[in-house]
Amino acid sequence: EIVLTQSPGTLSLSPGERATLSCRASQSVSSSSLAWYQQKPGQAPRLLIYGASTRATGIPDRFSGSGSGSDFTLTISGLEPEDFAVYYCQQYGSSPYTFGGGTKVEIK
Amino acid sequence: EVQLVESGGGLVQPGRSLRLSCAASGFTFDDYAMHWVRQAPGKGLEWVSGISWNSGRVGYADSVKGRFTISRDNAKNSLYLQMNSLRVEDTALYYCAKVFGITMVGYYMDVWGKGTTVTVSS
């Protein structure tokens, strides 16, 4: 099983600041099969990034994904008020299709 | 509009069974694999089970293997999760999610339902 470790657990930032979220896998994720999801309180997760770096339909370009192998990063270039949420990475390259523990981006 | 609507959740005693359903609309259901993902109160996301477009391949998390069974009825555009021998630790919000592909491996979850709540308690 591929274990995904997200850091930090919580990120306290102000609107307009840059957020950098990390997702580290216990082994290489095949074919960069890594996705990022955003979840707001009381809502279902929403797909942001797939294939490690491709933005999903309708996702603003302030969200970007990078990385390969076992190290991945989600960057939000300038936080908007609606971006404060919990972010999860997930690998879909091999079963079980594990999720990271999440990073909460909160308003400082 | 692509939509997934889960149902069937509720309060159940430990050891009992429950069957969840997910009704799909707005897309060609039998062109895509599907997953169940759960979220315990205040916790993160946990993949539970997945099924390919034609039910030819299924997969389960170790935590539910042997107790849960995933299935689908493409004629009814529906996904199911039969949950037996329920435990307190199965308490969670259960989401169904559509996969952007015919099988699970190599394809991400692109659409999620709002979820149905399962509470296992005596």
Q: Does A58 touch chain B (CB under 8 A)?
A: no
Q: Enter the tokens of residue B98.
A: 């559509």
Give the A window 67-86 contacts with B, CB below 8 Å.
none
Query: Out of B37, B50, B110, whose CB is closest to A56?
Result: B110
Q: Is the peptide bond before B14 cis (omega within 30 degrees of 0)?
A: no
- pLDDT tens profile B43-83: 999 999 999 999 999 999 999 999 999 999 999 999 999 99
Amino acid at B45: L
With a CB cutoff of 8 Å and minimum separation 6, the contacts of B67 are: B83, B84, B85, B86
Instruction: Go through B4-41 and write b for each residue having 16 or more CB atoms within 10 A of its CB, e for each that does not.
Output: bebebbeebeeeeebebbbbbeeeebeebbbbbbbbee
Pick from A97-101, B37-41, B106-110: least confident: B106-110
Interchain contact, B104 vs A95, CB within 8 Å: yes
**Interatomic CA distance for residues B26 and B72, integer angstroms:** 17
Residue B104: its pLDDT value, please?
75
Interchain contact, B104 vs A98, CB within 8 Å: no
pLDDT at B19 over 90: yes
Q: Enter the tokens of residue B12.
A: 């159940």
Compute CA distances B83 → A18, B66, B107, B113, whole Å.
43, 10, 25, 19
Query: Out of B45, B100, B104, whose CB is closest to A88?
Result: B45
What strands lie across the sheet with A4-7, from one edge to the other? Answer: A4-7, A19-25, A71-76, A63-68
Biggest alpha carbon–alpha carbon distance for chain B: 40
Interchain contact, B112 vs A46, CB within 8 Å: yes
How would residue B106 be classed by pLDDT, with cut points 50, 70 and 90? confident
- pLDDT tens profile A3-60: 999 999 999 999 999 999 999 999 999 878 999 999 999 999 999 999 999 999 999 9
Interchain contact, A50 vs B100, CB within 8 Å: yes
Average pLDDT for B86-106: 92
The CA distance from B66 to the nearest CA of chain A, in Å, is: 15
Q: B-side interface with A, Cβ within 8 Å?
A: 35, 37, 44-47, 50, 59, 61-62, 95, 100, 104-115
**Interatomic CA distance for residues A15 and B39, integer angstroms:** 28
Could you tell me which of B3, B34, B79, B114 has the C-alpha nearest to residue A45? B114
